[in-house]
Structure 1
Amino acid sequence: MLNKPIHFAPYLKSVIWGGERIAPYKGITTDQTAIGESWELSAVPGHISVVDRGPLAGQSLTQLIETYREELTGADIYSRFGTAFPLLIKFIDAKADLSVQVHPDDELAARRHNCPGKTEMWHIIDTEPEAKIYVGLKESITPDDYERRVADNTVMEVIDAYDSAPGDTFFLPAGRIHAIGAGNLLAEIQETSDITYRIYDYDRRDKDGNPRELHTAQARDAIDYTVYTDYKSHPEGSVLADCSHFVTRKFAVDGSGEVAIPRDRESFTIIICLEGETVVSWTDGAGVRGSQKVVRGETWLCPAVLRDLAVSGKCEILSVQA
């Protein structure tokens, strides 16, 4: 029986643009450097999360779904995805600019790669001076214009840019051009997909002096060329993003009492502690009330069988449901 939230070992990924903030943010001691990503909860083949605490320690996320089915993911999610887990949760630390990218939608990704596409969102945790987020087109271009601008290194001239600050949110539907600028530490919620088309990489070279591969032709058909007036989210209330793939809420808890976590969907709930520490409480399938301390930088999966979720303490948390 699943009667408490589940914690998984993070996968720390070193990359050429990675920084040094993720380990201290999460309270991890490591000799690893240039950590650009911490995969908190993943079912991506080759990087499937493994439980690192409690009686389920050593079991993978996939094994848990195979064993507990809708008790873990929820009846609706299990009927749609089976033993596949639909979301991927990361922390990202950009010491340098990330490449400019676009992701295919579900239809295109299924046709080309036999996998889901990637709609995602970013929530900014911390920034350094002059940090920026690059997202969307600020003027109309055609697919031919796009290819020409990639070839002559002028594509950045048509991509919108925002000064980023802690608390900002950017929703990125599949097809929207985007890049994380240097100086951003953020949480990323996305579909379970590792398909990325790299459009532009500032002519950077790898350790052997070779330019990184671009996916110019593949991206041409994946880009949404629509121009919008604003690409930054302006949430009202607790909801940061609400789409067919996930709903994400943010709660700032001031220590004065419990705050209930709404159950927007028949789904598991992911709790991400951004700042401070909290106590997550719930009622299990037998009607027994339980609680779990959660600290900054931790991500916990609350099985669907757990009801009446609430948080207390002094903290900022994200809750995510599929």
Structure 2
Amino acid sequence: MKKIDQFLKFEPILKDKIWGGEKLMSLLNKNSDRKDIGESWEISDVEGDTSIVKNGDLQGNNLKDLIKTYKSDLVGKKVYKHFGDKFPLLIKFIDAKEALSIQLHPQDELAKKRHNSFGKTEMWYVMQADKKANLIVGFKKDTNQEEYLHHLENKSLTEILNIDEVAKGDVYFIPTGRVHAIGAGVLLAEIQQTSDITYRIYDWDRQDSEGNYRDLHTEEAIGAIDYTAQKSYITDYEKKENQSSTIVSCPYFTTNILPISKTVSVNHKDKDCFVIYMCVVGEVEFTYQNEKEKIKMGETLLVPASIKEFKVNPIKTSELLEVYIR
């Protein structure tokens, strides 16, 4: 098996969205003159949107070919055994100038049966939020199909949904089946299973530039919705300076927060997996043997499973999201 011994940065895949804005360019320095960029896919193996390496000796190679070539050396033995040549996570930054549709995602079994796809468990880390900006996550109280359809038909769905005003650093975990929507004025990092399957249940009755409404998935969604409510949907976590602290851990991914104010020596010998770093504050430099690679706020780095020890040096006080599969 060939050995891979470099950090990997990828060309962002920018997505025009009816609800998109300009923060990905103005705050995260993505390169586009469009006014409606809603998503930057940082690492993707979604069919038709495979990430391309932008740095080092592997520049120009795509992620799918890298996995075929390097196999477990890139993704880890357990991950490769389970997922084969398919990269299991989709990593994004999202800017909502207007509210996204109210939606949910099917669980694995249903997604496999209907779409031959993974389900879509995901999480959000809020990087910036305008005053009064909010997220819709789950129901206010337990409900049922009959009550849900009544409010859907009467365009009063928000009356039974949980709506939270949010601020920088807030985290939400979105398991499959949980109704959710990103509100206007929110910039966030999203970590999710590799899937682009979304059931859109309400889109605020808006039309695109040609006067068309986007498709809704009312029938598909009914059997996929989790109608139970939680007391709170926000994820509590703590930060420890220059240490990784877990924010979310689920069968599909683990995400830690790593605030950095001095050089940190990282050891991943306990992991049989790649590790992804998303810079959400500041700028850092990764060093491994003779390899050096910088990422700043709004950039993402993939560390292959073969690289177990390296250093992270802060160019300024920074915060990283650290993502892997247990």
TM bucket (normalised to shorter chain) is over 0.9
Q: Is the 8 A contact 1:253 1:259 kept in 2?
A: no
Q: Is the 8 A contact 2:267 2:308 kept in 1?
A: no
**Counterpart residue number, 1:240:** 247
Greater shift after overlay, 49-58 or 117-126?
Answer: 49-58
The alignment's C-alpha RMSD in Å is 1.5
1: CA distance between counterparts of 2:16 and 2:270? 35
Can you list the C-alpha shifts for 1:121-173, whole angstroms capped at 9, x where unaligned?
00000011110011011122211221221111011111101111000000000
**Counterpart residue number, 1:126:** 128
**Counterpart residue number, 1:318:** 321
**Counterpart residue number, 1:297:** 298
Q: How does 1:87-166 map to 2 (within 5 A)?
A: 87-166=89-168
1: CA distance between counterparts of 2:39 and 2:157? 26
AA in 2 matched with 1:75: K
- Among candidates 208, 213, 216, match of residue 214 of structure 1: 216
Task: Give the TM-score, by structure 1 length.
Answer: 0.94
2: CA distance between counterparts of 1:273 and 1:227? 32
CA separation of 1:202/1:240 partners in 2, compared to 1, >3 Å: closer, same or farther? same
Can you list the C-alpha shifts for 1:4-32, whole angstroms capped at 9, x where unaligned?
11111001111110010102333234222
The share of aligned pairs that are identical, in percent, is 43
User: What are structure 2's unaligned runs of at least 5 residues?
Assistant: 240-244
**Counterpart residue number, 1:191:** 193
1:95 Cα deviation after fit: 0.3
**Counterpart residue number, 2:70:** 68
Q: Which runs of 4+ in 1 moved over 4 A?
A: 261-264
AA in 2 matched with 1:239: T
Counterpart secondary structure, 1:5: coil
2: CA distance between counterparts of 1:212 and 1:77? 36
**Counterpart residue number, 2:242:** none
CA separation of 1:65/1:208 partners in 2, compared to 1, >3 Å: closer, same or farther? same
Determine if the alignment matches structure 1 residue 252 to structure 2 residue 253: no
Counterpart secondary structure, 2:50: coil
1:212 Cα deviation after fit: 1.7
Q: Is the 8 A contact 2:104 2:180 kept in 1?
A: yes
AA in 2 matched with 1:244: P
CA separation of 1:190/1:173 partners in 2, compared to 1, >3 Å: closer, same or farther? same
1: CA distance between counterparts of 2:189 and 2:58? 26
User: What are structure 1's unaligned runs of at least 5 residues?
Assistant: 283-287
Q: How does 1:3-82 map to 2 (within 5 A)?
A: 3-82=5-84
2: CA distance between counterparts of 1:131 and 1:317? 23
Q: Is the 8 A contact 1:264 1:321 kept in 2?
A: no
1: CA distance between counterparts of 2:267 and 2:99? 35
Q: Is the 8 A contact 2:268 2:308 kept in 1?
A: no
Determine if the alignment matches structure 1 residue 270 to structure 2 residue 272: no
Counterpart secondary structure, 1:7: coil
2: CA distance between counterparts of 1:261 and 1:214? 46
1:85 Cα deviation after fit: 0.3
Q: Is the 8 A contact 2:177 2:224 kept in 1?
A: yes
Greater shift after overlay, 23-32 or 232-241?
Answer: 23-32
1: CA distance between counterparts of 2:107 and 2:181? 17
2: CA distance between counterparts of 1:305 and 1:61? 16
CA separation of 1:174/1:309 partners in 2, compared to 1, >3 Å: closer, same or farther? farther
